[in-house]
Amino acid sequence: MKKKRMAVILSAVMTAAILIGCGEAGSTRKDAAGSGQTSASSEDAVTIKIFSNLPDRKNGQGLVEQMIIDEYMAANQNVTIEVEALDEEAYKTKFKAYAMDGMPDVVSIWGQPSFLDEVLDAGVLAELQEEDYTDYGFIAGSLDGFKKDGKLYGLPRNTDIMLIYYNQKMFEDNGWTVPATYNELLDLCGKIKDAGIIPVAMDGGDGWPMACFLTDILVKVAGTEYADIVSRAVATGDFTAPEIQEATQILVNSASVGMFQMGYDSQDYGTTMNLFTNGQAAMYCMGSWDCSMALNQDIAPEIRDNIRAFTMPVVEGGKAGANDIAAWNGGGYAVSANSPVKEEAIKFLNFMYQPDKLSKYGWENGVGLSAQDQTAYLTGNETELQKQVMDILKDATSISGTPINDCGPSAFKTSIESEIQGVSNGSTSVEDFLAAIGAACN
């Protein structure tokens, strides 16, 4: 009898343990849903969750984003904004997990087919009313990448220009000059290498910066036909256009003569940038978003104050002039379609994009160029680098649009960013590289 009672107690304990386990999960869900509903319905407590790709909250764009968030919370005492920030690779992975399981309210996005096509097909982003933004000063065409079937789903943050940053003092000390043609760039790299310095610091480990570099060369080769050539290649899976072949061959030749640091194809963003900011490399190939280097107190003043930039020199025989540049409107923000606080999230988004917020703060913090008109915020105290970049954009006769790696589906992006390492280091032929990236489009 005693044993029987013990058996019943034991069974009851086991069952209770299981039920408690399940029950707790259930109650957590209920609480979470409950808090979401409270946020949506109560005027006194609104929580907006932001998922950002800017983990550095003390420098550059992350700082600007955080400044606006703090300002919004100060102006709206009932609003709490929770930020989850991851770097780009981790961000994109988690974004997908969120897309399957419920997105945060405001998210970072990229207005490029490689990212946005699948996201918009899944219907996870809320539609925005384009007419609401007529007074926001967006540069003509900058919203296009964030639209589908004429509907707007996100807003661009930056105008990104592909640049070659250089150390002006190092150039002057050694008698080097900014190259006007690609052959001059190659000659310059030879001289820099002979001086025992790395010519160009290249983040080849991540793949995408090198794909942007290829875009830059292709723009100089193909001129204003760049976008048509690339979209045709992506649509057909045939990348054998002479311009693409020539641009790829130029990249291969550049790498083979030692334009980049040893091991560039396995080194990451931070390591590469450090080579330039600690004076081991004379040049650094990256987008205009890294203009904040000129204000970064962690970089030694003798380097920080001497950072300048130029755009890809013209390629001999190419169709582009010096002012046809590789530039695009890439990153931006969107609101989740299923956000329980959608209205408040859109309100915050609109606050963020008021011309005197993202655009102004971005300019003041040297974050490069906004996708909105920034001329009203020039103070005259801009860094030389900022002025240079501003002039580059002002003098541009054409801008390329989306870089080649972001023009196709995600599978194409994954493929080109991996295969470009092989073609640049000579382990894959140009023909095999073009065939491999073409196959990824089908």
> Which chain residues interact with another protein by CB under 8 A?
3-4, 6-8, 10-11, 14-15, 17-18, 89, 92-93, 96, 99-100, 118-119, 121-124, 198, 204-205, 207, 261-263, 265-268, 271, 275, 280, 409-411, 413-415, 418-419, 421-423, 425, 427-428
* Smaller CB separation from another protein, 21 or 321: 21
CA angle 73, 32, 84 (to 5 degrees): 45
CB of 211 within 8 A of CB of 397? no
* Smaller CB separation from another protein, 2 or 394: 2
DSSP 8-state code for residue 158: E
Q: Which amino acid is at 173?
A: D
* Smaller CB separation from another protein, 292 or 405: 405
Token duo for residue 344: 């408040």
Task: Tell me if residue 326 falls in helix, strand or coil.
Answer: coil
Helix axes 342-352, 60-75, angle to 10 degrees: 120
Phi, psi of 426 (to 5 degrees): 85, 5
Token duo for residue 12: 């009851």
Q: CB of 294: closest distance to another protein in angstroms?
A: 24
Q: CB of 41: closest distance to another protein in angstroms?
A: 29
Q: CB of 54: closest distance to another protein in angstroms?
A: 20
Q: Indicate the burial class of 29 (C-beta count within 10 angstroms; 0-12, 13-18, 19 or more).
A: exposed
Q: CB of 239: closest distance to another protein in angstroms?
A: 17
* 361-377 core/surface letters (b: 16 or more CB in 10 A; e: else): bbbbbbbbbbbbebeeb
Q: Where are the alpha helices (DSSP H) in 257-383?
A: 269-277, 301-304, 342-352, 358-364
* Smaller CB separation from another protein, 80 or 427: 427
Token duo for residue 278: 């600690």
Q: Give the contacts of 250 (CB within 8 A, at least 6 positions apart).
A: 182, 217, 221, 315
Q: CB of 122: closest distance to another protein in angstroms?
A: 3
* Smaller CB separation from another protein, 121 or 298: 121
* Smaller CB separation from another protein, 14 or 45: 14
Query: Residues 116, 367, 311, 189: is their CA dihedral positive or negative?
Result: negative
Q: CB of 410: closest distance to another protein in angstroms?
A: 4
* Smaller CB separation from another protein, 76 or 425: 425
Q: CB of 316: closest distance to another protein in angstroms?
A: 29
Q: CB of 425: closest distance to another protein in angstroms?
A: 6
* Smaller CB separation from another protein, 114 or 329: 114
d(CA 324, CA 419): 27
* Smaller CB separation from another protein, 274 or 354: 274
Q: CB of 45: closest distance to another protein in angstroms?
A: 31
* Smaller CB separation from another protein, 102 or 137: 102
d(CA 71, CA 178): 42
Q: CB of 92: closest distance to another protein in angstroms?
A: 7
CB of 136 within 8 A of CB of 354? yes
CA angle 252, 258, 264 (to 5 degrees): 80
Task: Tell me if residue 181 falls in helix, strand or coil.
Answer: strand
